[in-house]
Structure 1
Amino acid sequence: MRPRVAVAVSGAFALVAALSACPANTGGSPSVDSGRQPTGVIATDPKDSTGPAPELAGARRGGTFTVLRETPISHLDPQRTYSFAGLMAVPLVARSLTTWKDDGAGNLTLVGDLAETPGRDVNDDCRIWEFTVKDGVRFEDGRPVTAREIAYGIARSFDPDLTGGPTYLQEWLADTPQYDTAWDFTANRGSLPPGLTTPDARTLRFEFARPRCDLPFAASLPSTAPLPPDRDTGVNLGNAPFSSGPYKVTRYRPGIEIVMERNEHWDAGTDPVRHQYPDRFVWSFGATPDAAANRIIADNGTDRSALSWDYVPASLVARVAGDAALRSRTLLSPTPSANHLVINNERVTDLRVRQALNHAIDREGLVKVLGGPHVAVPMTTLMPPATIGHRAYDAYPAGPNGDPDRARELLGGQRPELVLGAADSSVEQQVATQLKGNLERAGFVITIRNIPDDAKFDEIKKRGNPWDLYLSSWAGDWPSGASILPVLYDGRAIRATGNSNESYFNDATINAEFDRILALPPSEQGPHWARLDERIMREHAPVVPLYVDVAYLVHGSKAGGAFVSSVFGYPSLVDAHVEP
């Protein structure tokens, strides 16, 4: 086992040193920051978890900050929130046990949000954790937030009717992926799931059957948001969440808009991250990415204090990137969203065929099809560069445009006939066509089979699906290999439907490595995940890493303070304000 590496950094333990950065675009237009040295730390000094958040120079109170987005947020129920939009919107109205201080350049500190610290590992074995709830945190009606409301929020996430949210806490407490059968929320609404207790009003205690060293990270997800039982409206909570954050929902028009206004009971002195600058946030739905971007570029009326949530569409990238006047009104950042050509390992069982697939891909050509370096950056690892502990490598060097000769050599005269399942969306059809050309140049025979876009997500998660290859993407729920590699490649979790392990990869020695690394303190895990990343690719090649998404967004001239979240790759609004 690697010795514990604990480097003091401003009252925090460093989880890892520098991460890799995406390559720069050397043209005259803005480029992804290749000089960043992102780090992740867990705060150990309680002062890091206190408020108020430092004031932003030039920010003022007042005004309406508008977010334009094509599709609505499905709901704002914290226990069901798992979309990027939801994960960025819900923290405005709901606080969690822990949260991230994020400078927008990849430098992260995990701090206590509802809790005074990011948690206490009682016996230093990651099996028993305690969180002490801060004094002064209140709901929108003035009631204090206690451990009991936080525990109830976690308990309601066991309700099988409240689907869609993360399931880490439920599975860890129940010690099984079938958590909803291990403990029945409906039958036990007045109690708590096994392993979750509230010794007093300010103490929340977790007891796990096995080490859960990543609990402080998982506790940053909205599933730990508090809720009084008398304000639980079940499946309707997302229409009117009960606020513990700086804003509260005052108008919810499904599919049209959500209006959030100040929560007068929020105490900045308890909040280390959020501000309360705008009078209100308005989420406006319906404008296509092209229409929203064009409105923001025009910079008229209320659009001057608006942000287009959807990335700049490929049709407008050249225009926006080439306009020096828009430079100050764009956000450009690598994201943690990694895209892969997933290989169904239960159908494509020959390792040499999977290795040949990796050698065949023209990543530079693929990035061009997607819209260029403002849209995507090639990658050759399982974990994206934004992951704590990431280490760059290329297990199957193919140059920027692929190596069909090496692929054909590995195939040894075979011409494997493979079916590529692709969503019937325009973008995925373009990508599938590009990949088909790459693979056929290398000796494969590829048939593209279309999958309805709205069904693809569910269909590829069914074991025994009829495709050899399909496109998929993943962003970890926190920037650690723990929320990527075991989630995607632990074969013990494969079931009939709903699989995150879409490659259906299962290897006993790799599974054992997941258990070993997960039992390590988070401060030690980073390098181990990096080595395992490379080992999986070199020994098994279960997928073909393709590219990392790049966030490229445009905002109005008076929309200040937004930055791209280093955790989720979409706009964070905790510092958002309307400039004079």
Structure 2
Amino acid sequence: MRARLATAMGGAMALVVALSACSKNTGDNSDSVDTNKPRSGAIATDPKDSLGPAAEVPGAAKGGTFYILRENKISHLDPQRVYSFAGLMGSQLYARFLTTFKDDGKGNVTLVGDLAETPGKNVNNDCKVWEFKIKQGVKFEDGRPITSKEIAYGIARSFDPDLTGGPTYLQEWLADSPQYDTKWNFKANKTSLPPGLSTPDAQTLRFEFNKPRCDLPFAVSLPATAPLPPDKDTGVNLDNQPFSSGPYKFTKHTPGVEMVLERNENWDPTTDPVRHAYPDKFVWTLGADNATQTNRVLAGTGNDAAAVATGGVPSELIAKVTGDAKLKERMIVAATPNAYRLSINTTRVTDLSVRQAINYAIDRSSITKNLGGPYGAVPLTTLLPPTTLGYKQFDAYPAGESGNPDKAKELLAGKSVNLVLGTSDDTPSQETATQVKNALEKAGFTVTIKPIPEDGYLDFVKKKSNPWDIWVDSWAADWPSGASILPVLFDGRNIKAEGNSNTSQLNNQAINAEFDRVLAEDPAKQAEEWSALDEKLMKESAPAVPLYNEVVSVAHGEKAGGLFIGSIFGWPSFVNAYVKQ
């Protein structure tokens, strides 16, 4: 979910695009949440922007232990397998990547070099060949220097079919195929590299693609580019004890219970433009549910005074927190990139006028109120979330937040339409499904709810042959560009038997051609193009109903400083965290 900001050969052009999004530290006494805070994004053109040390955080002090409360264990800690929001933000403590985002916590982000000296060189100015120069002085936790060789090995091991869970952009782009593990066998080629990836020398990493890959500087900001020496590769067991290249290293890990990270003395802050190492330790404490976490940090007894409740403030506690000025000062509220939509299976609901009627009928207000109002969700009428660079607000089916059943009935023109609504069997999903059903039935639809086991929900709805007409979906892109949203969700050429991101199963040749056209354009022009294509999709195909943009509300103890909600992944960032003395 990143704008296609590209560096040109011999000098980069910074794109700065304004957008609107929800982001606010609610330290004031207002009952509202700011949903129109301007944001901007750019790519660093001056190598100095990629140097360290990171600017000091006002009031920050070194020392102490910072506590992170979470209910469940993180699915993966191995950088090549990390893909959850918690994993992506937590990995910044112990892993470094080719590039990363400077994020001021106020919505302004700049892509900079992390292990690399810059965000990359577009060698021939065609996005097919990229080079990254690796910084001098970057080291692993044992003091060994990090070179292009270890970064390349980290990328190569992501081809291992045993190491599932992480993003697959680099693998698919290098292999020029979604079946990347059949194009290059990591297990049989551990001493070599995938085709297209090379290390001309210890300080140079080179990518060569068959097609333009203008998003590469952003894709390599994901943890898949974390370095690893081959002799430290423990395969699937790396999840239990990652090998650090960041400011902290693992000193204790009891899976599902506790993780302890202490300072990595071989991390050099002069090479790092983003991270600090203020606390002596970070301790992840696992097991408490959201309500328990929130109540603990608000009470602030003992260690909980220096803790953050990452599960978020549950809706039943919002009034308690917002009604007390001192407690409200310790709640951070911000939009995430996570956009929810009601997917419509276009191979089953083939009549465009019916899909348009569904859009008019939906009552967004009942859904968002049940999710905590502006502290949990804000209504959305676009496929792109407001955190997308170049975002433009529009409403293809203006019906107000509570829907327009009369307009929906007009479009149905007396047709009797039965819809099967698939929903996860957990309580919140069931409640949302009931609200969707009620709104549609007011407009004349007949709706049958079919529960799906929560632990298999995503697998079921991503099957091409699933038997549902509509269901609630969500998508949180990996960088804030329409390029990492619209083609992923609606390019019909990517439909397969299982594992579809295009759950609407839209396969419109004209739309597919538009994706190709925009992706081939000068990256500086693409942000505006994606917003226009968003509107075209909604008006001409109506493959889904945008529902809401998820908002996260996180509480912390009075001694927990430097926290903000990351602009890219919408989860607490710890790069500036410190313990107030």
Q: 2-side partners of 1:165 and 1:5: how far apart?
A: 23
Q: Which deviates further from its counterpart, 463-472 or 364-373?
A: 364-373
Name the residue aligned to 1:570.
571
Name the residue aligned to 2:276.
275
Q: Does the 8 Å CA contact 1:561/1:573 hold for their aligned counterparts?
A: yes
Q: 1-side partners of 2:16 and 2:400: how far apart?
A: 29
Name the residue aligned to 2:21.
21
Name the residue aligned to 1:123.
124
Q: 2-side partners of 1:390 and 1:198: how far apart?
A: 38
Q: 2-side partners of 1:130 and 1:331: how far apart?
A: 39
Name the residue aligned to 2:262.
261
Q: CA deviation at 1:401?
A: 0.9
Q: 2-side partners of 1:399 and 1:328: how far apart?
A: 33
Name the residue aligned to 1:393.
394
Letter in 1 for 2:419: L
Q: 1-side partners of 2:349 and 2:485: how far apart?
A: 22
Letter in 1 for 2:546: P
Deviations 1:204-256 (A, max 9, x none): 00000000000000010000100011100001101100100000011110110
Name the residue aligned to 2:496.
495
Q: CA deviation at 1:91?
A: 1.2
Q: 2-side partners of 1:157 and 1:270: how far apart?
A: 26
Counterparts in 2 of 1:165 and 1:330: CA distance versus 1, 3 Å:
same
Q: 2-side partners of 1:482 and 1:61: how far apart?
A: 40
Deviations 1:77-122 (A, max 9, x none): 0010000000011111010000000011211100000000000000
Letter in 2 for 1:17: V
Q: CA deviation at 1:309?
A: 0.4
| Percentage identity across paired residues of the two chains | 63
What is the SS of the residue equivalent to 1:37? strand
Q: Does the 8 Å CA contact 1:16/1:526 hold for their aligned counterparts?
A: no
Q: CA deviation at 1:179?
A: 0.6
Q: 2-side partners of 1:138 and 1:128: how far apart?
A: 27
Name the residue aligned to 1:237.
238
Q: CA deviation at 1:502?
A: 1.1
Q: Which deviates further from its counterpart, 27-36 or 439-448?
A: 27-36
Q: Does the 8 Å CA contact 2:305/2:560 hold for their aligned counterparts?
A: yes
Q: Does the 8 Å CA contact 2:23/2:37 hold for their aligned counterparts?
A: no
Name the residue aligned to 1:88.
89
Q: Which deviates further from its counterpart, 388-397 or 341-350?
A: 341-350
Q: Does the 8 Å CA contact 1:32/1:334 hold for their aligned counterparts?
A: no
Q: Does the 8 Å CA contact 1:15/1:524 hold for their aligned counterparts?
A: no
Q: CA deviation at 1:321?
A: 1.3
Counterparts in 2 of 1:323 and 1:70: CA distance versus 1, 3 Å:
same
Name the residue aligned to 1:372.
373
Letter in 2 for 1:18: A
Q: Which deviates further from its counterpart, 501-510 or 140-149?
A: 501-510
Deviations 1:31-77 (A, max 9, x none): 33245211110101000000000011110111110010111112210
What is the SS of the residue equivalent to 1:252? strand
Q: 2-side partners of 1:85 and 1:23: how far apart?
A: 19
Q: CA deviation at 1:491?
A: 1.1
Name the residue aligned to 2:513.
512
- Number of residue equivalences: 574
Q: Which deviates further from its counterpart, 89-98 or 363-372?
A: 363-372
Can you give the 5+ residue segments of structure 2 that lack an aligned partner in the other structure? none
Q: CA deviation at 1:364?
A: 1.4
What is the SS of the residue equivalent to 1:53? coil
Name the residue aligned to 1:317.
318
Name the residue aligned to 1:480.
481
Q: Which deviates further from its counterpart, 13-22 or 262-271?
A: 13-22
Name the residue aligned to 1:139.
140
What is the SS of the residue equivalent to 1:130? strand
Question: 1:276-425 residue pairs with structure 2 within 5 A?
Answer: 276-425=277-426
Q: 1-side partners of 2:379 and 2:245: how far apart?
A: 40
Q: 2-side partners of 1:212 and 1:30: how far apart?
A: 44
Q: 2-side partners of 1:432 and 1:480: how far apart?
A: 29
Question: 1:522-537 residue pairs with structure 2 within 5 A?
Answer: 522-537=523-538
Letter in 2 for 1:58: G
Letter in 2 for 1:21: A
Q: Does the 8 Å CA contact 2:139/2:245 hold for their aligned counterparts?
A: yes
Letter in 2 for 1:236: N
Counterparts in 2 of 1:469 and 1:481: CA distance versus 1, 3 Å:
same
Name the residue aligned to 1:443.
444
Q: 1-side partners of 2:7 and 2:174: how far apart?
A: 31
Name the residue aligned to 2:72.
71
Q: 2-side partners of 1:379 and 1:16: how far apart?
A: 24
Q: CA deviation at 1:6?
A: 9.9
What is the SS of the residue equivalent to 2:373? coil
Counterparts in 2 of 1:35 and 1:467: CA distance versus 1, 3 Å:
closer
Q: Does the 8 Å CA contact 1:140/1:248 hold for their aligned counterparts?
A: yes
Q: CA deviation at 1:16?
A: 4.2
Q: CA deviation at 1:431?
A: 0.4
Q: 1-side partners of 2:36 and 2:440: how far apart?
A: 34
State TM-score, norm by structure 1. 0.97
Question: 1:95-110 residue pairs with structure 2 within 5 A?
Answer: 95-110=96-111
Letter in 2 for 1:120: K
Q: Does the 8 Å CA contact 2:365/2:402 hold for their aligned counterparts?
A: yes
Q: CA deviation at 1:315?
A: 1.1
Q: CA deviation at 1:284?
A: 0.8
Q: 2-side partners of 1:252 and 1:239: how far apart?
A: 7
Q: Does the 8 Å CA contact 1:250/1:259 hold for their aligned counterparts?
A: yes
State TM-score, norm by structure 2. 0.96
Q: 1-side partners of 2:242 and 2:7: how far apart?
A: 40
Deviations 1:158-181 (A, max 9, x none): 000100100000000000111111
Q: Does the 8 Å CA contact 1:38/1:107 hold for their aligned counterparts?
A: yes
Q: 1-side partners of 2:521 and 2:404: how far apart?
A: 39
Counterparts in 2 of 1:5 and 1:497: CA distance versus 1, 3 Å:
closer
What is the SS of the residue equivalent to 2:111? strand
Q: Does the 8 Å CA contact 2:163/2:235 hold for their aligned counterparts?
A: yes
Q: 2-side partners of 1:503 and 1:359: how far apart?
A: 18
Deviations 1:244-301 (A, max 9, x none): 0000011110110111110000000000000000001011110000111111111110
Letter in 1 for 2:304: D
Question: 1:159-178 residue pairs with structure 2 within 5 A?
Answer: 159-178=160-179
Q: 2-side partners of 1:378 and 1:13: how far apart?
A: 35
Q: 1-side partners of 2:117 and 2:565: how far apart?
A: 26
Q: CA deviation at 1:22?
A: 4.5
Counterparts in 2 of 1:5 and 1:247: CA distance versus 1, 3 Å:
closer
Q: Which deviates further from its counterpart, 304-313 or 358-367?
A: 358-367
The answer on 1:189 being equivalent to 2:212 is: no
Counterparts in 2 of 1:457 and 1:495: CA distance versus 1, 3 Å:
same
Q: Does the 8 Å CA contact 1:338/1:384 hold for their aligned counterparts?
A: yes
Letter in 1 for 2:502: N
What is the SS of the residue equivalent to 2:151? helix
Deviations 1:471-528 (A, max 9, x none): 1111110111111111111111111111111111111121122122222343221001
What is the SS of the residue equivalent to 2:428? helix
Q: Does the 8 Å CA contact 2:5/2:43 hold for their aligned counterparts?
A: no
Q: CA deviation at 1:30?
A: 4.5
Q: 2-side partners of 1:299 and 1:23: how far apart?
A: 25
Q: 1-side partners of 2:319 and 2:475: how far apart?
A: 27
What is the SS of the residue equivalent to 2:369? helix
Q: 1-side partners of 2:47 and 2:5: how far apart?
A: 21
Letter in 2 for 1:283: W
Q: Does the 8 Å CA contact 1:126/1:519 hold for their aligned counterparts?
A: no
What is the SS of the residue equivalent to 2:285? strand
What is the SS of the residue equivalent to 1:38? strand
Q: Does the 8 Å CA contact 2:6/2:43 hold for their aligned counterparts?
A: no
Question: 1:208-227 residue pairs with structure 2 within 5 A?
Answer: 208-227=209-228
Letter in 2 for 1:414: K
Letter in 1 for 2:262: E
